Amino acid sequence: MTLQMVLDEIHKRPGSGEAIAVVDPVTEEPITEFADGGEQAVDEAVARARASFESGVWQAMPGSERAKVLWRIAELIEQHADSLVEIDSLNTGMTLPHARQLVSASAEFFRYYAGWCTKVNGIAHDIQMTGGVTGSYSNLHAYTLKEPYGVVGLIFPWNGPVFNACAKLAPALAAGCSSVVKPAEETPLSAVLLDKLIAEAGVPDGVVNLVTGYGHTAGAALVAHPGVEKVAFTGSTEVGKQIVAASAGNLKKVMLELGGKSPVLIYDDADLSSAIPMAAMGVFMHSGQVCVCGSRLFVQRGVYDQVVEGIAAVADSLRLGGPKEDDVQIGPLVSQKQLTRVMGFIDEGKRDGVEVVTGGYRLDRRGYFVHPTVLTDVEPGMRLYQEEIFGPVVTVLPFDDEDEALALANDTTYGLAATAWTNNLGRAHRLAKRLQAGTVTLNCQTVFDPAMPLGGYKQSGWGYEWGREGIEAYMQTKSVWAQL
């Protein structure tokens, strides 16, 4: 399926709501538009998902058969990798190597969870004596069953469209759930192709149901729907809180992967030849639109000037441009809305007296490009220091000792990721224990694997995705007791 076929297909998608424009962030020109699916499309999708779940066509299929289908999805993703890369790079402006890496990781998620289809089981207990309210029993056999939740709603953002879809769909399918999938309104295109590939791989009708539309219409209807047992959401902390409130109607379970304001600590004994370029790319890659981006940098005073200079030099060396331009390392922000948000934080910081070491401006060309920005003289009370910007902006503060660095790093409502650069092994592992984040990286940054759980401490999330935890998130546990 080519880009043109996806553009034709999206017009046929169900929806009678407002027309939503899909915009190329490099040219600022519309690529296409589609109708908001809204509540009606959600109702229909949930009904199809419910019917498929109750029929057992997927959930009751032997795990070994489900595994083959998941494996086939991985193969089809790889066969259509060029189209997926073209679509996601056009729709988000991300560089071609970045888009290719995410497409390849998408296939890997399906392969990884294909393996789990045959490996998630309950446990068995032989219980000799126990008291019961209706009498006492002996020789009880007890065991647990792991069962799919049922119909799950999968909602995710625009920053890595096909990857965000696959990271949720692979474990949901492996667990046996039926799903309703709602991509971000800015980037619905690759989900249309993925939907076709999933059907072609042999996932039965009604098991995966795509709904396209706005968050406040289609997304909100999905979260409130009484026919949905669980919502798995990736997005901002602000919307995550709305989802918790909206899910109360049927007390559906909620899993949240939310925002971050991740600290990076560079000690004076660190290997700066690695720490400086990696900390720079850890915040500037994909123009900072990465959930774990290290946007708060803390540097021990002895190497502070050197690190600030080094990060600024990397920022100035990066070539920004669209995916079709040569030698591009960083793409634009995804939308005018995101550009307004990022520049709003920067301009407020300037008014409040932060020092702009480099960047701090929109590029003088078409597209939503912001020069990678390094800010110092930042006060901890400032909004740009406390809130997630989700743009190519890093604040840098000095520290003197380990405790001060930890206090600064942990002084945030977020807890998604944290990084320490130090050659002191003991200190590195002390920090790993004391940093309040779901992911801690030591002398490395922005590393991912489907086998490693991802989850947020504090207001960065509820629950865990990926790894064994990732499939268990789509299953509930039943205890069964039997008198022998």
Instruction: Return residues touching ligand NAD (CB under 6 A).
Output: 155-159, 182, 184-185, 214-216, 219-220, 223, 234-236, 239, 242-243, 257-260, 291, 388, 390, 416, 454, 456, 461
Closest chain position to ligand NAD (CB): 215
Q: Name the catalytic one among 186, 257, 402, 465.
A: 257
Q: How far apart are CA 366 and CA 60, in angstroms?
A: 52
Q: Cβ closer to ligand NAD: 150 or 438?
A: 438
DSSP 466: S
Q: How far apart are CA 372 and CA 360, in angstroms?
A: 7
Shortest separation between residue 45's beta carbon and ligand NAD, angstroms: 14
Q: How far apart are CA 271 and CA 422, in angstroms?
A: 7
Residue that is written with structure tokens 């490395």 in the block:
444
Q: How far apart are CA 320 and CA 313, in angstroms?
A: 15
Q: Cβ closer to ligand NAD: 349 or 456?
A: 456
DSSP string for residues in 119-170: T----EEEEEEEEETTEEEEEEEEEEEEEE-SEEEEE--SSSHHHHHHHHHH
Q: How far apart are CA 460 and CA 417, in angstroms?
A: 9
Using alpha carbons, select from 105, 109, 87 the residue that is nearest to residue 96. 87
Shortest separation between residue 213's beta carbon and ligand NAD, angstroms: 8
Shortest separation between residue 187's beta carbon and ligand NAD, angstroms: 9
Shortest separation between residue 239's beta carbon and ligand NAD, angstroms: 3
Q: Cβ closer to ligand NAD: 368 or 390?
A: 390
User: Is 257 annotated in the active site?
Assistant: yes
DSSP 217: I
DSSP 282: H
Chain CA centroid to CA 449, Å: 13
Shortest separation between residue 327's beta carbon and ligand NAD, angstroms: 27
Shortest separation between residue 395's beta carbon and ligand NAD, angstroms: 17
In three-state secondary structure terms, 263 is strand
Using alpha carbons, select from 80, 96, 284, 84 the residue that is nearest to residue 200. 80
Q: How far apart are CA 400 and CA 409, in angstroms?
A: 13
Catalytic annotation, residues = 257
